[in-house]
Structure 1
Amino acid sequence: MSSERIVVVTGASRGAGKGIALALGETGATVYVTGRTQHEGDAPLPGTVFATAGEITRRGGRGVPVVLDHRDDAQVEALFAGVREKHGRLDILVNNALAVPDALTRKGPFWEKPLSLLDLLDVGMRSSYVTSYYAAPLLVANGAGLVVNTSSFGGTCYMHGPAYGAGKAAVDKMAHDMAVDFRPWNVAVVSIWMGLLVTERTLAAFAADPGAYDGLAATAESPEFTGRVIDALARDPELMNRTGQVLIGAEIAQELGVEDTQGRRPPSHRPFLGDPPVFSAAVID
């Protein structure tokens, strides 16, 4: 894979997407970052696509901001038409965009929460499919590449209720099935389970209820950690042996010698949150 990689990271105004984009940008890549937030104050949390792109460039990459609503398929199609026109290829796609309704972490059964929680199946599950659909011809033309769906242990354990769980389980299975289709073109697809992240959202939660998060912050992953893992995977000569799998980011980091910021090595949450799914090798066209 070329050292001057062309990368698209969706949902990168803040949080995991921003961190992933920054880490990949530090490798010298051209990173397209998508998101809806154009100006500080447009969203409850800080961050814009322009700020992310600017920081990528300051770190030695080339950040390209793309204001985009992943509910609009035509906007996604236009994004990849632009990538095709400028570069003719794509090396890495990171499907990270996710609608996070305010009620997501509210306590109580699903029927006591608003139906707006289903938004995360639109921007999350569905948007990952659509983005991969329009990215596929560029990855295939390249003859190699990597697609990553960011996910979590919520794909198999109860986490934030059935809407969130269904969305994460779906992108995990999507990675497996897309890997079957992409394999002849040497394009790998994986889903990466992230741990607790120190993002703008979690920092606000820490501040609001410090006692509820005692001990967690010390082992939490930085938003850039998963980006470093993705970079290592993209360089791994055994990448195609991992395609179609659901990977725990902290465990792959240990295997490939990846450190988080400040030299930390975040632990895997497998012991108390469970194992990733193992899918059948059967293929029925």
Structure 2
Amino acid sequence: MSCNVVVTGATRGLGRGIARAFASCGAMVGVTGRDASALADVCTEIEAHGGKPLALECDHRDDGAVAAAFARVRDEMGHLDILVNNAAAVYGQDLIAPGPFWEKPLRLAEMIEVGLRSNYVAAWYAVPLMAAAGKGLIASISFYGAVSYFHGPAYGAAKAGTDKMTADMAADLAPYGVAAVSIWPGFILTDAVRAMPPEMIPDDLRAMLPTWETPEFTGLVIDALYRDPELMPLSGQALIGAELGIRYGIADNDGKQPISYRASMGAPRMPNSAATGEQP
């Protein structure tokens, strides 16, 4: 059965691939982004993959724009099954530049605004569209940087905050049949990476690319998670996408099984009875 999905920050990277994956499952897919032209391109891809698109031009720094986007979701979808919180303020070259955080541009702190706060705001507007139906899933994209050093403190704070916020949301959502989880994908073979000329890719990185995940893989495991009869016991947890792939028998587009980096980069922290608020 097809479902109604919103993917934030879906004009490029992981979000765009997630939108394509849901489209391949026959979903109606609402996609947010600031660039109308890029949104139109994503909507064309959604249609080509068998889905029904809804373009939601939206800057996630602007709460009013987010409110307007979800008002359209309510009016044009009627209800919402899945929210994928993917929007993030990512400045790639600044993130990977050498040096400590105070020697990098202050704008990296925007990841806490768009990437953590924006997840809260999108969920705030999405939940009423789910709770009325007694079922729904909020899947917020996080990463191993929540528990290990990766790209510095702003990135780490955004991811760790997302995981804790997810655990606390799950406690509030449990009586309404709505689940909240964080999803940790692996390293992503985005459209931009795939389009890079081989001679422009450093040798060590080129050797790793065959092990990287397509962005569509994350969308497929979120779809399977939503349909899992045991979804609610997983609510509040940070879940590794590669491990969900094994749970649900989902391989990547090229047939490989994506890698869990649990052993080398860290394991998700378990909440204390997030669904009930009980203490251990």
| TM-score above 0.5, yes or no | yes
Note closer, same or farther for the CA distance 1:139–1:207 as it changes in structure 2 (3 Å cut): farther
CA contact (8 A) 1:195 1:269 kept: yes
Q: Shift of the alpha carbon at 1:132?
A: 0.3
In the TM superposition, 1:47-126 aligns within 5 A as 48-101=38-91, 102-126=93-117
Q: Distance in 2 between matches of 1:207 and 1:83?
A: 43
Deviations 1:3-25 (A, max 9, x none): 23111000000110001111011
Q: Does 1:276 align with 2:268?
A: yes
Structure 2 gap segments, 5+ residues each: none
Q: What amino acid sits opposite 1:60 in the alignment?
A: G
Structure 1 gap segments, 5+ residues each: 40-47
Q: Which moved more, 1:194-203 or 1:173-182?
A: 194-203
Aligned to 2:259: 267
CA contact (8 A) 1:206 1:213 kept: no
SS of 2:96's equivalent in the other structure is: coil
Q: Shift of the alpha carbon at 1:237?
A: 0.7
Aligned to 1:43: none
Q: Which moved more, 1:248-257 or 1:86-95?
A: 86-95
Deviations 1:86-126 (A, max 9, x none): 23311000000001124111111111101110111111101
In the TM superposition, 1:213-232 aligns within 5 A as 213-232=205-224
Q: Does 1:141 align with 2:132?
A: yes
Deviations 1:114-151 (A, max 9, x none): 11101111111010000000111101112101100011
Q: Distance in 2 between matches of 1:207 and 1:141?
A: 53
Q: What amino acid sits opposite 2:46 in the alignment?
A: I
Count of aligned pairs: 274
Q: What amino acid sits opposite 1:141 in the alignment?
A: A
Q: Which moved more, 1:273-282 or 1:201-210?
A: 201-210
Q: Shift of the alpha carbon at 1:202?
A: 4.0
For the aligned residues, what is the CA RMSD?
1.6
Q: What amino acid sits opposite 1:220 in the alignment?
A: W
Task: Determine what percentage of the aligned residue pairs are the same residue.
Answer: 49
